[in-house]
Every structure is written in C-alpha cells, then in structure tokens.
Amino acid sequence: MSGRMAAMSDRRPLLVTGVPRSGTTWAARLLATAPGTALAGREPMNPRGRQYALGGTLTGWVRLTEPTPRQRRVLTSTYAGRNPRTYGRYGRHQWRGPLPSTRLVVKDPFAMLSTPAIAAVTRARALQVYRHPGAVLTSYRRMGWRPDLDEIAPFIPEAATHFPELGEAWDRGVDALSDAERMGVFWGVLQALALADLDAAPGALFVAHHELAG
C-alpha cells in the first residue's frame, strides 16, 4: 500500500518520447486521462516548420548534454506547465497544467536523445514507447514520409559503438539503402542511444507499443 501511495503522490512531470510514429501521441493522451494530469499539446523540441524548437534554439535533432541558460529556462517553464507556447490542440486539461497538484505530461519524440539532460533540469520521468521498425515504416509510408538519415548522421558514430552494424550500413552510402534499410538505421540509431541513456535518466521506462495496445 505504501508503494501505491508513493506512486499516486509522485507529481514529477512525465515525458513521453520515442521514434516518431511509435504511438507517443496516443500514449500521452491515454496517460492524460488520469485524474490530476494535464497534457501540453505541442512537442517542445520539434525543430520543423514553425514548431517551437525549444524557444527557437534548435535547428534539427539534438543530443542535449549541457543545455544553455535559455534552454534551461524554457525546459523549466515547459515542464512546470507555465509555458503557453507549448500548448496546442492535442493537449488535455492544459488550463490546470501550472497548478501544483497537477502532473504534467509532455509528448516529444525529439526529446528522445536528451532524456538525462531534461531529467536533470526538470525532474521529469521519461516513458520511451518503442515500436517494431517495420510498423514504424508502414506508418511513415501512410504519411508520405521517408526516414531522413541526414538528420541523425551526427549521432551514427556514437550509436555504432554499441551496434557496429549501424556504422556498416551507413558506410554503404544512403543511396544504396532500401527504404527498409534506411528505417533500420534511423530507428536503430535513436533506440541505441536511448538505451545507452537509460541509467542516466532516473526512473525512465521502456514500454512496447504492442503491449500498450493489448
């Protein structure tokens, strides 16, 4: 019973992240149906188009280790529910986000490579949703997307220290890779680094998409 009470009283913000098209939006909205929660609707670290890009400080995927003072301020206000620029149409109960009794849920695939830094600044607990790369590729195709390896190229050497086959595939050249192989590299790099960060992000959890769906 004491463990259950401790879990209910835990008001640390929740970061829901994972490879894009892995079900992070669905999982975050499901979590935000719980009493005393709120969901910020935008992805704070999304650098694309007119997205928030962490207050305009990002231009692409990033692996934050030492956030700048401005980034720390933005992260702090966002994960405390006090940043209306991170509210959006996919949110839930955003009006109660700043209340001290509320547990804020933040959905952000682009935070996937920065969970230890985010946890250090905000005390957020990360929930990583992982989905089979074949299913992710199918979802990409429905959206008319292709995995862009140039976006994650800076992180391939580090990921290859954990899984050398990622570096071998990259060395073959992007043009030589099929769509399935491209997704394998894209998915593999993000997942490899997320796993490497697991011990440095207190309380982080990995959950399979198919287990949530079941």
Q: Could you give phi then psi for residue 61, rounded to 5 degrees? A: -55, 140
pLDDT of 179 reads 93
Cα 61 to Cα 207: distance, rounded to the nearest angstrom = 22
pLDDT of 193 reads 96
> 4: part of which helix (H) or strand (E)?
helix 2-9
pLDDT of 11 reads 83
Percent of the chain with pLDDT strictly greater than 70: 96
- Taking only the tens place, the pLDDT of each residue in 44-83 is 999 998 899 999 999 999 999 999 999 999 999 999 999 9
Q: Does residue 15 have a pLDDT over 60?
A: yes
pLDDT of 91 reads 93
pLDDT of 9 reads 59
For residue 38, the cross-strand partners are 104
**76, 47, 57, 73: which is closest to 152 by C-alpha?**
47
* Cβ neighbours for 7, distance < 8 A, ≥ 6 positions apart: none
The pLDDT of 118-141, averaged and rounded, is 96
Cα 116 to Cα 7: distance, rounded to the nearest angstrom = 21
Q: Does residue 150 have a pLDDT over 50?
A: yes
Q: Does residue 4 have a pLDDT over 50?
A: no
Cα 78 to Cα 100: distance, rounded to the nearest angstrom = 14
Q: Does residue 7 have a pLDDT over 70?
A: no
CA distances from 214 to 9, 14, 15 (A): 27, 22, 22
Percent of the chain with pLDDT strictly greater than 90: 89
Cα 18 to Cα 123: distance, rounded to the nearest angstrom = 18
Average pLDDT, the chain: 92
Q: Does residue 21 have a pLDDT over 70?
A: yes
Determine contact, residues 45/110, Cβ cutoff 8 Å: yes
pLDDT of 213 reads 85
pLDDT of 3 reads 42
Q: Model-level pTM greater than 0.85?
A: yes
